[in-house]
Amino acid sequence: MKTYMANNETVKHDWYVVDATGLTLGRLATAVANVLRGKHKPIYTPHVNCGDNVIVINATKVVLTGNKWKDKLYRSHSEYNGGLRTLTAEELMTKYPTRMVEYAIKGMLPHTKLGDVQRKQLYVYADANHPHQAQKPQELKVKA
């Protein structure tokens, strides 16, 4: 019996929409990352982009547990001396409402060329409006 290996010509990419209202950030990111990688499909092949496109709406209504709104830090550095910039989760959400979800999902994808392709299949929106109605996305259920 031969092992099935998917390739770029045989993989079909579906569209899913996830409503982040009331969902914990880590659980949401895990579920979305698995769909982006294609691990939910029986034809999953690690070196091929088997994943689907995912639209995350209402990213501003995501939930963090405990004191993470004040304690969780997002750091970036400009590569110059003294160029470290730090934002708390609360500040990041007010300035850039979609970045917290994007960063969480990006951290769960592979940091390779394949991961870059899979990352481009993610669309995050702060509210319920998105321009992808023509793709007829299916609703993806994520456990709270």
**pLDDT confidence of residue 3:** 86
Angle between helical axes of 99-106 and 25-37 (0-180°, round to 10): 60
- The beta strand positions in 20-135, using DSSP E, are 53-57, 73-77, 84-88, 122-124
pLDDT at 98: 97
Convert the pLDDT of each residue in 41-86 to its tens digit: 999 999 999 999 999 999 999 999 999 999 999 999 999 999 999 9
pLDDT score for 1: 75
* pLDDT value for 144: 76
pLDDT band at 111 (very low <50, low <70, confident <90, very high): very high
CATH code: domain of residue 132: 3.90.1180.10
Residues spanned by the domain of 116: 17-139
Number of domains in the chain: 1
Residue 49 has a pLDDT of 96
Residue 103 has pLDDT above 90, yes or no: yes
Number of C-beta neighbours around residue 56 at 10 A: 27
Give me the torsion for CA of 94, 121, 129, 140, rounded to 10°: -100
Residue 44 lies in a domain: yes
10 within a domain of the structure (yes/no): no
Establish if 28 belongs to a structural domain.
yes
